[in-house]
Structure formats: C-alpha cells, structure tokens
Amino acid sequence: MKKLIFLLLLPFTTLTQAQPPAAYYNSAAGLYGEALQAALHNIIDNHQVQSYGSLHAHFEATDKKPDNTVWDMYSDVPGGTPPYVYHFTSGDQCGNYSREGDCYNREHSWPKSWFNNQSPMNSDLFHLYPTDGYVNGKRSNFPFGEVSSATWTSKNGSKLGPCSYSGYSGTVFEPIDAYKGDFARTYFYMSTRYYHEDNGWAGSPMVNGAQLKPWALAMMMEWHQADPVSQKEIDRNNAVYEIQQNRNPFIDHPEFVANIWGDPTGLYAPEVNKNITIFPVPAKEFCIVNHNGYYNNSQVSVKLYDVAGKIHPCSLSRDGQSLQIDLSALSSGFYIALIAEDGKLPAHARILK
C-alpha cells in the first residue's frame, strides 16, 4: 500500500488578487479552522438565487472569452487552438448531441445528484459552467480525480478512467491542468457556502454532504497550489458577484484554504517551518524528514493525527539532520504529521495512505 507525503506550504500566496468590496471579509479577520469556515459561510450565505433558465444569459457575463466566444474549460486549449468553439447563440446551445463540438450546456461541476438537485445549489453560478454537452455527458456525475490510464480522452485532453490518486480507485474525470485550480476553488466554495446546510445531501465517493472526503481534500489542495488564481477567475468572481451578490472567498484570498484546512485540529498555526524536505514520494513503509539541522534530534517530537484528531503512535530513527518516521503500522486513511520542538516553529506534513 502506498502512502503519499507532501509538505503543506503556508501561507499560500498568488500574484493576482480580486478586489472584494471594502470590509467584505472583516468579520473573518483573525480566524482559522472551522471558525473561519463558519464566518465565511455567514458572509456568502443567502445569495440572490437565480433561475436555472437564466443561466445561459448569465454565462454571457461570467464565461465570455476575450474574442466573445464561450469559455468552455472542457474544450479550451490555453495558449493553443481549441478543437471547436461555441458562440452565445441559441443554435449552439444543447439540444441533442452525438459527438464533441455539437453544442454546449450547463455543467454542474458539483453534480446535482450529490445534492438531490435542490435549490439554491442547482443554479448557483459559482459551480455552474458552460461546457460541451458530449464531454459533460461523459463526465456524468463521476468525481474529479487523476487518471493514469484513460478509458476516454476529450479533444482538449480531459480524461475519464480509474482514479490513480491514493485513497480512491473508482472512475473519475480529470480536467486539464490549466483548470484544476479553478475546480478546486469551486469545491472549496461549495463546502463553505453550504456549510451546515447539507442535510439530506446524497453525497458521493468524493464528498460527505458538502465536505470533501480526506483523499479529495488532499488532491484539491494540491490542485489549488499547482494552479494559482488566474485573471479568468478574478473576472468571473466579479461578474458572479454582480449577479448573485456573493463571492468566492478562495479566489479573493487563496490563503483561506490553508487557514481552514491546514491543521489536524482545525486550529491553524500562522507560522510554520517550511525549510524541510520529505521523501520518498510516495512513501512505502517509512518517510524521511530532512530538517537541515533546524531541530535538535534529541529533543524533536513527531505526532501523527488522523482526520478525527486521534493521535497514532509512531517510532522514529534519528540521524544527523533527518528523521525517519515508521509508517508501517498505519491503516488506510489520511494523516498529518506534526514535527515540533519547544521554542521552534513546527512543521506539518500530510500523509495519505
């Protein structure tokens, strides 16, 4: 059984920032963990609900490319030539389709079956996008994921197939790398907008109600870090705000992701030691933490937490500037290693078995 290890980098920064209204996030200042998620929920809750039928018209404001064509993340080729393009005309809207390029429709990136097609989720623009109808149909209600051996590939490189990301092996849909961060921040929005408003949601292999399962949370945090906020997202955030009167906080403040989900107890540590390396990736029976002499090996400690906050015992081998953590006793699941020494900044590492 493989274990995936990666260092959580905090804080997360990006070169581009949307501009929310003055004081929009004031009530969330200084908060971390679930307290921050709850505060953000209260800020973006009770948006102005739109009708499902109005979405095509709204897409003209939220998803228009500079050349006035439809911005379809399932067919777009950033920096290249898309295999086909759509225009905001009724003739390009689905309708019937039998292949890629026939028409576009309204994609629930968080599939509607996961929340029983209820309002206001079924028309919330922050997770609805215009996409090719055929690709949308292929995606169906499968989770997002990463595919190593595709059973089907779209013309822009999106994939369908068994999940290769540790923690889930069922069928998933993988968008191209250029838009993985977009979908990750979409999911963080959904988890926060509908925080404690998900009673009765059917869920899926990816989510419990509105909250991401451990494997999906780890993957989405990787996607969020690897594909930072783009100008497309900033412009879309502002456009949706004009329509719904709420915003996606994780576009305005990408660091909120780590502030909420960055600690095993939900209590975020504002300062951490990032000058360490962890290998091998993925780990097998152990992982090695090279702390470059920052910690005193005779005094440093390591604790392993699961998602419920339970501490699991682990044994260490200490050698010069590194620690070897024995992972052989861990059962399948999601863990966080806390590396600490009195008087020094702690370090966190995520472990997914």
Helix (H, G, I), strand (E, B) or coil at 319: strand
Q: What is the pLDDT along the chain (353 residues), one digit of tens a residue?
A: 344 333 333 333 333 445 788 899 999 998 888 889 999 999 999 999 999 999 999 999 999 999 999 999 999 999 999 999 999 999 999 999 999 999 999 999 999 999 999 999 999 999 999 999 999 999 999 999 999 999 999 999 999 999 999 889 999 999 999 999 999 999 999 999 999 999 999 999 999 999 999 889 889 988 998 999 999 999 999 999 999 999 999 999 998 998 888 744 444 455 677 777 777 766 678 888 888 888 898 899 888 877 556 788 888 888 878 888 898 888 766 677 888 888 888 887 776 66
Delimit the domains of the chain by residue range.
Answer: 18-252, 277-352
Rg (CA), the chain: 21
253-269: burial string, b at 16+ Cβ within 10 Å, e else = bbebbbbbbbbbeeebb
Under 8 Å between Cβ of 205 and 212: no
Backbone angles phi, psi at 213, to 5 degrees: -70, 160
CA distance 290 to 93: 55
Q: Convert the pLDDT of each residue in 188-233 to its tens digit.
A: 999 999 999 999 999 999 999 999 998 898 899 889 989 999 999 9
CATH of domain 277-352: 2.60.40.1220
Q: H or E stretch including 208?
A: strand 207-208
Strand pairing of 286-290 and 277-279?
antiparallel
The pLDDT score that the predictor gives to residue 2 is 41
Burial of 226 (0-12, 13-18, 19+ CB in 10 A): exposed
The pLDDT score that the predictor gives to residue 258 is 83
The pLDDT score that the predictor gives to residue 291 is 86
Under 8 Å between Cβ of 183 and 109: yes
The pLDDT score that the predictor gives to residue 33 is 80
Alpha carbon distance, N-terminus to C-terminus of the chain: 7
| 231-244 vs 55-62: helix crossing angle, rounded to 10 | 140
The pLDDT score that the predictor gives to residue 13 is 34
Handedness of CA 39, 41, 44, 46 (dihedral sign): negative
Under 8 Å between Cβ of 5 and 348: no
